[in-house]
Amino acid sequence: MRFIDEMDIKEKKVLFRFDFNVPFDNSRNIADDARIRAVLPSINYALDENARVIIMSHLGRPKGIVNPEMSLAPVAKRLSRLLGKEVRMAPDCIGSEVREMIDALKPGDILLLENLRFHIEETKNDDGFAAELAGYADVYIDDAFGNAHRVHASNVGITKFIRECGAGFLIKRELNYFKKALDKPARPFVAIIGGSKVSGKLEALGNLIRKVDKMVIGGGMAFTFLKALGYEVGKSIVEDDLMEKAMEVIKTAKELGVKFYLPVDCVMAENMSAEAETKIVTVQEMNSHWMGLDIGPATITLFTEVLSNAKTIVWNGPMGVFEIDAFGRGTEALAHSVANSYALTIAGGGDTDVAIRETGEIDKITYISTGGGAFLELLEGKVLPAVAALDRCEDDDRG
Protein backbone atom coordinates (compact mmCIF):
# COMPACT_ATOMS: atom_id res chain seq x y z
CA MET A 1 0.00 0.00 0.00
CA ARG A 2 1.25 3.44 -0.93
CA PHE A 3 0.66 6.67 0.93
CA ILE A 4 -0.17 10.06 -0.56
CA ASP A 5 3.37 11.41 -0.25
CA GLU A 6 4.68 8.45 -2.27
CA MET A 7 2.41 9.16 -5.25
CA ASP A 8 2.45 11.62 -8.14
CA ILE A 9 -0.64 13.78 -7.63
CA LYS A 10 0.71 17.05 -9.07
CA GLU A 11 -2.12 18.93 -10.83
CA LYS A 12 -4.18 15.73 -10.97
CA LYS A 13 -7.78 15.21 -9.94
CA VAL A 14 -7.55 13.59 -6.51
CA LEU A 15 -10.64 11.97 -4.97
CA PHE A 16 -10.47 11.76 -1.18
CA ARG A 17 -12.64 9.59 1.06
CA PHE A 18 -12.80 11.20 4.51
CA ASP A 19 -14.88 10.47 7.60
CA PHE A 20 -16.73 13.71 8.32
CA ASN A 21 -19.38 11.99 10.44
CA VAL A 22 -19.12 14.73 13.05
CA PRO A 23 -21.50 15.50 15.95
CA PHE A 24 -23.85 18.50 15.87
CA ASP A 25 -25.50 20.51 18.64
CA ASN A 26 -29.21 21.34 18.79
CA SER A 27 -28.69 24.38 16.55
CA ARG A 28 -27.08 22.28 13.80
CA ASN A 29 -23.63 23.66 14.53
CA ILE A 30 -20.67 21.28 14.48
CA ALA A 31 -19.97 20.38 18.11
CA ASP A 32 -16.59 18.73 17.56
CA ASP A 33 -14.52 19.13 14.40
CA ALA A 34 -11.66 16.80 15.42
CA ARG A 35 -12.32 14.45 12.49
CA ILE A 36 -12.15 17.38 10.07
CA ARG A 37 -8.92 18.73 11.55
CA ALA A 38 -7.39 15.25 11.48
CA VAL A 39 -7.31 15.18 7.66
CA LEU A 40 -6.08 18.73 7.07
CA PRO A 41 -2.49 17.50 6.48
CA SER A 42 -3.67 15.33 3.57
CA ILE A 43 -5.72 18.14 2.04
CA ASN A 44 -2.92 20.69 2.42
CA TYR A 45 -0.42 18.30 0.86
CA ALA A 46 -2.70 17.92 -2.17
CA LEU A 47 -3.12 21.71 -2.40
CA ASP A 48 0.65 22.15 -2.24
CA GLU A 49 0.84 19.80 -5.23
CA ASN A 50 -1.69 22.00 -7.06
CA ALA A 51 -4.12 19.10 -7.28
CA ARG A 52 -7.82 19.41 -8.02
CA VAL A 53 -9.35 18.17 -4.77
CA ILE A 54 -12.64 16.26 -4.70
CA ILE A 55 -13.88 15.15 -1.28
CA MET A 56 -16.50 12.58 -0.39
CA SER A 57 -17.86 11.49 2.99
CA HIS A 58 -20.95 10.23 4.77
CA LEU A 59 -22.86 11.76 7.67
CA GLY A 60 -25.24 9.81 9.85
CA ARG A 61 -27.42 6.97 8.59
CA PRO A 62 -29.97 8.38 6.13
CA LYS A 63 -30.37 4.87 4.59
CA GLY A 64 -30.63 6.05 1.00
CA ILE A 65 -33.06 8.89 1.69
CA VAL A 66 -32.13 12.54 1.15
CA ASN A 67 -32.36 14.22 4.55
CA PRO A 68 -31.41 17.93 4.77
CA GLU A 69 -30.53 17.39 8.47
CA MET A 70 -27.68 15.14 7.31
CA SER A 71 -26.32 17.40 4.58
CA LEU A 72 -22.55 17.98 4.53
CA ALA A 73 -23.06 21.70 3.86
CA PRO A 74 -22.01 22.69 7.43
CA VAL A 75 -18.84 20.65 6.95
CA ALA A 76 -18.02 22.60 3.75
CA LYS A 77 -18.43 25.81 5.73
CA ARG A 78 -16.17 24.64 8.58
CA LEU A 79 -13.58 23.24 6.17
CA SER A 80 -13.49 26.56 4.30
CA ARG A 81 -12.74 28.35 7.55
CA LEU A 82 -10.02 25.90 8.60
CA LEU A 83 -8.30 25.99 5.21
CA GLY A 84 -8.74 29.70 4.63
CA LYS A 85 -10.14 29.12 1.15
CA GLU A 86 -13.46 28.32 -0.51
CA VAL A 87 -14.74 24.77 -0.43
CA ARG A 88 -17.54 24.45 -2.97
CA MET A 89 -20.49 22.21 -2.13
CA ALA A 90 -21.98 19.85 -4.73
CA PRO A 91 -25.75 19.21 -4.72
CA ASP A 92 -25.21 15.43 -4.87
CA CYS A 93 -22.37 12.91 -5.08
CA ILE A 94 -23.30 11.51 -8.52
CA GLY A 95 -25.00 12.82 -11.65
CA SER A 96 -24.34 15.13 -14.59
CA GLU A 97 -24.33 18.34 -12.53
CA VAL A 98 -21.66 16.92 -10.21
CA ARG A 99 -19.61 15.81 -13.22
CA GLU A 100 -19.79 19.33 -14.71
CA MET A 101 -18.59 20.86 -11.43
CA ILE A 102 -15.66 18.43 -11.30
CA ASP A 103 -14.73 19.11 -14.94
CA ALA A 104 -14.67 22.85 -14.14
CA LEU A 105 -12.18 22.48 -11.27
CA LYS A 106 -8.90 24.30 -11.60
CA PRO A 107 -5.62 23.36 -9.86
CA GLY A 108 -5.99 24.18 -6.15
CA ASP A 109 -9.81 24.08 -6.19
CA ILE A 110 -11.78 22.02 -3.66
CA LEU A 111 -15.20 20.43 -4.12
CA LEU A 112 -17.10 18.58 -1.39
CA LEU A 113 -19.65 16.05 -2.64
CA GLU A 114 -22.96 15.64 -0.82
CA ASN A 115 -23.56 12.80 1.66
CA LEU A 116 -22.72 9.44 0.06
CA ARG A 117 -25.35 7.66 2.12
CA PHE A 118 -28.16 9.59 0.45
CA HIS A 119 -27.74 6.71 -2.02
CA ILE A 120 -28.37 3.19 -0.70
CA GLU A 121 -25.84 1.90 -3.24
CA GLU A 122 -23.04 3.25 -1.03
CA THR A 123 -23.62 0.89 1.88
CA LYS A 124 -24.48 -1.97 -0.47
CA ASN A 125 -21.03 -1.64 -2.11
CA ASP A 126 -22.71 -1.36 -5.51
CA ASP A 127 -20.28 -1.68 -8.43
CA GLY A 128 -22.11 0.83 -10.64
CA PHE A 129 -22.08 3.47 -7.91
CA ALA A 130 -18.41 2.77 -7.14
CA ALA A 131 -17.47 3.01 -10.82
CA GLU A 132 -19.21 6.37 -11.19
CA LEU A 133 -17.31 7.77 -8.21
CA ALA A 134 -14.04 6.37 -9.55
CA GLY A 135 -14.62 8.09 -12.88
CA TYR A 136 -14.22 11.51 -11.27
CA ALA A 137 -10.48 11.37 -10.66
CA ASP A 138 -6.99 10.23 -11.62
CA VAL A 139 -6.04 9.24 -8.07
CA TYR A 140 -8.05 7.89 -5.14
CA ILE A 141 -6.89 8.52 -1.55
CA ASP A 142 -8.65 6.92 1.39
CA ASP A 143 -8.14 8.75 4.68
CA ALA A 144 -11.37 7.70 6.40
CA PHE A 145 -10.02 5.55 9.22
CA GLY A 146 -13.29 5.75 11.14
CA ASN A 147 -15.03 3.99 8.24
CA ALA A 148 -12.22 1.57 7.36
CA HIS A 149 -13.99 -1.42 8.94
CA ARG A 150 -16.93 -1.02 6.55
CA VAL A 151 -17.24 -2.62 3.11
CA HIS A 152 -18.82 0.21 1.14
CA ALA A 153 -18.65 1.46 -2.44
CA SER A 154 -16.58 4.55 -1.63
CA ASN A 155 -13.81 2.76 0.28
CA VAL A 156 -13.72 -0.82 -1.01
CA GLY A 157 -15.65 -1.13 -4.28
CA ILE A 158 -14.06 1.98 -5.77
CA THR A 159 -10.58 0.45 -5.71
CA LYS A 160 -11.61 -1.94 -8.51
CA PHE A 161 -12.26 0.92 -10.92
CA ILE A 162 -9.48 3.48 -10.44
CA ARG A 163 -5.89 3.12 -11.58
CA GLU A 164 -4.05 4.76 -8.68
CA CYS A 165 -5.03 4.14 -5.04
CA GLY A 166 -3.39 5.10 -1.77
CA ALA A 167 -3.92 6.16 1.83
CA GLY A 168 -3.70 9.56 3.45
CA PHE A 169 -1.68 10.76 6.41
CA LEU A 170 -4.41 10.00 8.97
CA ILE A 171 -4.59 6.30 8.10
CA LYS A 172 -0.79 6.26 8.04
CA ARG A 173 -0.68 7.66 11.59
CA GLU A 174 -3.37 5.30 12.88
CA LEU A 175 -1.66 2.20 11.50
CA ASN A 176 1.79 3.31 12.65
CA TYR A 177 0.64 3.87 16.25
CA PHE A 178 -1.12 0.52 16.35
CA LYS A 179 2.00 -1.15 14.99
CA LYS A 180 4.06 0.44 17.77
CA ALA A 181 1.58 -0.67 20.42
CA LEU A 182 0.72 -4.18 19.27
CA ASP A 183 3.74 -5.48 17.34
CA LYS A 184 6.73 -4.41 19.44
CA PRO A 185 5.41 -2.57 22.51
CA ALA A 186 7.62 -1.07 25.18
CA ARG A 187 6.85 -3.04 28.34
CA PRO A 188 5.06 -3.27 30.68
CA PHE A 189 2.17 -3.14 28.20
CA VAL A 190 -1.25 -2.46 29.79
CA ALA A 191 -4.64 -2.76 28.09
CA ILE A 192 -7.63 -1.00 29.64
CA ILE A 193 -10.94 -2.31 28.33
CA GLY A 194 -14.26 -0.83 29.43
CA GLY A 195 -17.69 -0.15 28.01
CA SER A 196 -21.01 -1.80 28.62
CA LYS A 197 -20.80 -5.29 27.16
CA VAL A 198 -18.35 -8.17 26.84
CA SER A 199 -19.96 -9.29 23.57
CA GLY A 200 -18.57 -6.34 21.61
CA LYS A 201 -15.07 -6.77 23.03
CA LEU A 202 -14.63 -10.56 23.22
CA GLU A 203 -12.34 -10.87 20.18
CA ALA A 204 -10.28 -7.89 21.32
CA LEU A 205 -9.86 -9.46 24.76
CA GLY A 206 -8.81 -12.76 23.19
CA ASN A 207 -6.19 -11.06 21.02
CA LEU A 208 -4.86 -8.62 23.62
CA ILE A 209 -4.53 -11.13 26.46
CA ARG A 210 -1.73 -12.76 24.43
CA LYS A 211 0.13 -9.49 23.93
CA VAL A 212 -0.13 -7.53 27.19
CA ASP A 213 1.52 -7.78 30.58
CA LYS A 214 -1.51 -6.42 32.44
CA MET A 215 -5.19 -6.19 31.60
CA VAL A 216 -7.64 -3.85 33.36
CA ILE A 217 -11.39 -4.45 33.00
CA GLY A 218 -13.95 -1.78 33.90
CA GLY A 219 -17.34 -0.48 32.82
CA GLY A 220 -20.52 -2.53 32.65
CA MET A 221 -18.66 -5.48 31.15
CA ALA A 222 -16.81 -6.00 34.45
CA PHE A 223 -20.01 -7.31 36.06
CA THR A 224 -20.16 -10.28 33.69
CA PHE A 225 -16.67 -11.25 34.91
CA LEU A 226 -17.60 -10.63 38.55
CA LYS A 227 -20.77 -12.70 38.33
CA ALA A 228 -18.80 -15.49 36.62
CA LEU A 229 -16.52 -15.47 39.66
CA GLY A 230 -19.51 -15.91 41.96
CA TYR A 231 -20.19 -12.34 43.12
CA GLU A 232 -23.68 -10.92 43.62
CA VAL A 233 -24.01 -8.08 41.08
CA GLY A 234 -27.67 -7.13 41.58
CA LYS A 235 -29.31 -5.45 38.58
CA SER A 236 -25.97 -4.56 36.99
CA ILE A 237 -25.63 -5.22 33.28
CA VAL A 238 -24.61 -8.86 32.77
CA GLU A 239 -24.39 -11.15 29.75
CA ASP A 240 -25.14 -14.51 31.33
CA ASP A 241 -24.43 -16.40 28.12
CA LEU A 242 -20.86 -15.05 28.09
CA MET A 243 -19.85 -15.88 31.66
CA GLU A 244 -18.11 -19.03 30.48
CA LYS A 245 -16.17 -17.01 27.88
CA ALA A 246 -15.25 -14.52 30.60
CA MET A 247 -13.85 -17.32 32.72
CA GLU A 248 -11.84 -18.53 29.71
CA VAL A 249 -10.23 -15.07 29.44
CA ILE A 250 -9.35 -15.14 33.15
CA LYS A 251 -7.96 -18.67 32.79
CA THR A 252 -5.86 -17.69 29.76
CA ALA A 253 -4.47 -14.70 31.64
CA LYS A 254 -3.40 -16.96 34.51
CA GLU A 255 -1.80 -19.48 32.14
CA LEU A 256 0.15 -16.75 30.33
CA GLY A 257 1.18 -14.93 33.50
CA VAL A 258 -0.81 -11.83 32.56
CA LYS A 259 -1.93 -9.79 35.57
CA PHE A 260 -5.70 -9.42 35.35
CA TYR A 261 -7.55 -6.68 37.26
CA LEU A 262 -11.25 -6.26 37.97
CA PRO A 263 -12.96 -3.59 40.12
CA VAL A 264 -12.74 -4.11 43.88
CA ASP A 265 -15.51 -1.60 44.63
CA CYS A 266 -18.16 0.24 42.68
CA VAL A 267 -20.72 3.03 42.74
CA MET A 268 -24.23 1.56 42.94
CA ALA A 269 -27.65 3.13 42.47
CA GLU A 270 -31.26 2.00 42.24
CA ASN A 271 -31.40 3.16 38.62
CA MET A 272 -29.38 4.93 35.95
CA SER A 273 -30.42 8.45 36.84
CA ALA A 274 -28.69 11.63 37.93
CA GLU A 275 -31.22 11.94 40.76
CA ALA A 276 -30.76 8.39 42.06
CA GLU A 277 -29.31 7.77 45.51
CA THR A 278 -25.81 6.28 45.25
CA LYS A 279 -23.64 4.10 47.47
CA ILE A 280 -20.01 3.05 47.28
CA VAL A 281 -19.63 -0.63 48.17
CA THR A 282 -17.02 -3.33 47.81
CA VAL A 283 -17.73 -6.03 45.23
CA GLN A 284 -18.41 -8.43 48.13
CA GLU A 285 -21.23 -6.18 49.38
CA MET A 286 -23.19 -5.36 46.24
CA ASN A 287 -26.92 -4.89 46.79
CA SER A 288 -29.07 -7.44 44.95
CA HIS A 289 -31.66 -4.75 44.08
CA TRP A 290 -29.27 -2.03 42.85
CA MET A 291 -26.95 -1.73 39.85
CA GLY A 292 -23.26 -0.93 39.51
CA LEU A 293 -22.69 2.16 37.36
CA ASP A 294 -19.04 3.17 37.96
CA ILE A 295 -15.84 1.98 39.56
CA GLY A 296 -15.28 3.09 43.14
CA PRO A 297 -12.42 5.03 44.81
CA ALA A 298 -10.49 1.91 45.88
CA THR A 299 -10.59 0.64 42.30
CA ILE A 300 -9.38 4.02 41.04
CA THR A 301 -6.42 3.74 43.40
CA LEU A 302 -5.75 0.16 42.28
CA PHE A 303 -5.95 0.92 38.55
CA THR A 304 -3.75 4.01 38.97
CA GLU A 305 -1.12 1.87 40.68
CA VAL A 306 -1.35 -0.69 37.85
CA LEU A 307 -0.51 2.08 35.37
CA SER A 308 2.35 3.55 37.41
CA ASN A 309 5.14 1.63 35.65
CA ALA A 310 3.47 1.14 32.26
CA LYS A 311 5.45 1.93 29.11
CA THR A 312 2.58 1.27 26.66
CA ILE A 313 -1.13 1.78 27.38
CA VAL A 314 -4.05 1.03 25.04
CA TRP A 315 -7.46 2.17 26.31
CA ASN A 316 -10.87 1.36 24.86
CA GLY A 317 -14.12 2.08 26.71
CA PRO A 318 -15.18 4.13 29.77
CA MET A 319 -15.24 2.85 33.35
CA GLY A 320 -18.87 3.77 33.98
CA VAL A 321 -21.87 5.74 32.70
CA PHE A 322 -19.67 8.83 32.38
CA GLU A 323 -22.40 10.92 30.72
CA ILE A 324 -23.97 11.25 34.20
CA ASP A 325 -21.73 13.15 36.64
CA ALA A 326 -22.41 10.82 39.56
CA PHE A 327 -21.09 7.88 37.53
CA GLY A 328 -18.31 9.59 35.62
CA ARG A 329 -15.65 9.99 38.29
CA GLY A 330 -13.98 6.65 37.57
CA THR A 331 -13.50 7.44 33.88
CA GLU A 332 -12.32 10.96 34.70
CA ALA A 333 -9.80 9.71 37.26
CA LEU A 334 -8.49 7.06 34.87
CA ALA A 335 -8.10 9.68 32.13
CA HIS A 336 -5.90 11.72 34.46
CA SER A 337 -3.88 8.63 35.39
CA VAL A 338 -3.31 7.65 31.75
CA ALA A 339 -2.46 11.23 30.79
CA ASN A 340 0.09 11.56 33.60
CA SER A 341 1.80 8.25 32.92
CA TYR A 342 5.19 8.07 31.24
CA ALA A 343 3.88 5.66 28.60
CA LEU A 344 3.00 5.62 24.93
CA THR A 345 -0.76 6.07 25.30
CA ILE A 346 -3.30 5.23 22.61
CA ALA A 347 -7.01 5.67 23.25
CA GLY A 348 -10.16 5.45 21.20
CA GLY A 349 -13.56 3.93 20.65
CA GLY A 350 -16.39 3.39 23.09
CA ASP A 351 -16.71 7.12 23.79
CA THR A 352 -13.21 7.06 25.30
CA ASP A 353 -12.15 10.01 23.17
CA VAL A 354 -15.18 12.04 24.30
CA ALA A 355 -14.41 11.30 27.95
CA ILE A 356 -10.77 12.35 27.56
CA ARG A 357 -11.73 15.60 25.86
CA GLU A 358 -14.12 16.40 28.70
CA THR A 359 -11.32 15.99 31.26
CA GLY A 360 -9.09 18.45 29.39
CA GLU A 361 -6.28 15.87 29.18
CA ILE A 362 -6.34 15.44 25.41
CA ASP A 363 -2.92 17.06 24.85
CA LYS A 364 -1.26 14.59 27.23
CA ILE A 365 -2.45 11.47 25.40
CA THR A 366 0.04 10.31 22.78
CA TYR A 367 -2.61 9.43 20.23
CA ILE A 368 -6.41 9.45 20.19
CA SER A 369 -7.83 7.34 17.40
CA THR A 370 -10.54 8.78 15.15
CA GLY A 371 -12.13 5.35 14.79
CA GLY A 372 -14.59 3.43 16.92
CA GLY A 373 -15.33 0.17 15.15
CA ALA A 374 -12.06 0.38 13.20
CA PHE A 375 -10.09 0.90 16.43
CA LEU A 376 -11.74 -2.16 17.96
CA GLU A 377 -11.10 -4.34 14.90
CA LEU A 378 -7.40 -3.51 15.03
CA LEU A 379 -7.41 -4.47 18.71
CA GLU A 380 -8.97 -7.75 17.59
CA GLY A 381 -6.00 -8.32 15.29
CA LYS A 382 -8.05 -8.01 12.10
CA VAL A 383 -7.09 -6.42 8.78
CA LEU A 384 -9.47 -3.57 7.99
CA PRO A 385 -11.42 -4.12 4.72
CA ALA A 386 -10.60 -0.65 3.36
CA VAL A 387 -6.89 -1.16 4.06
CA ALA A 388 -6.99 -4.60 2.43
CA ALA A 389 -8.66 -3.04 -0.64
CA LEU A 390 -5.81 -0.52 -0.97
CA ASP A 391 -3.32 -3.36 -0.69
CA ARG A 392 -5.08 -5.24 -3.49
CA CYS A 393 -5.22 -2.10 -5.61
CA GLU A 394 -1.44 -1.80 -5.36
CA ASP A 395 -0.92 -5.54 -5.97
CA ASP A 396 -2.96 -5.31 -9.19
CA ASP A 397 -0.19 -3.10 -10.64
CA ARG A 398 -2.63 -1.03 -12.69
CA GLY A 399 -0.38 1.91 -13.26
Q: Given 373, 381, 382, 392, which residue is catalytic?
A: 373
143 close to 386: Cβ distance less than 8 angstroms: no
Phi, psi of 51 (to 5 degrees): -75, 160
Task: Let me know if 168 is a catalytic residue.
Answer: no
Give the CA count within 13 Å in the CB-facing half-sphere of 311: 9
From CA 387, how far away is CA 155, in angstroms rounded?
9
Task: Let me know if 106 is a catalytic residue.
Answer: no
Q: How far is CA 190 from CA 182, 293, 345, in A?
A: 11, 23, 10
Task: Let me know if 180 is a catalytic residue.
Answer: no
Task: Let me know if 157 is a catalytic residue.
Answer: no
Helices 329-339 and 297-307: angle between axes, nearest 10 degrees: 20
- Nearest residue to 366 via CA among 386, 397, 342, 336: 342
Give the CA count within 13 Å in the CB-facing half-sphere of 102: 26
Q: Given 35, 52, 172, 211, which residue is catalytic?
A: 35
Q: Which residues face 259 on adjacent strands?
A: 214
Q: Given 99, 124, 197, 392, which residue is catalytic?
A: 197
Q: Given 292, 296, 330, 350, which residue is catalytic?
A: 350
Active site residue ranges = 35, 197, 350, 373
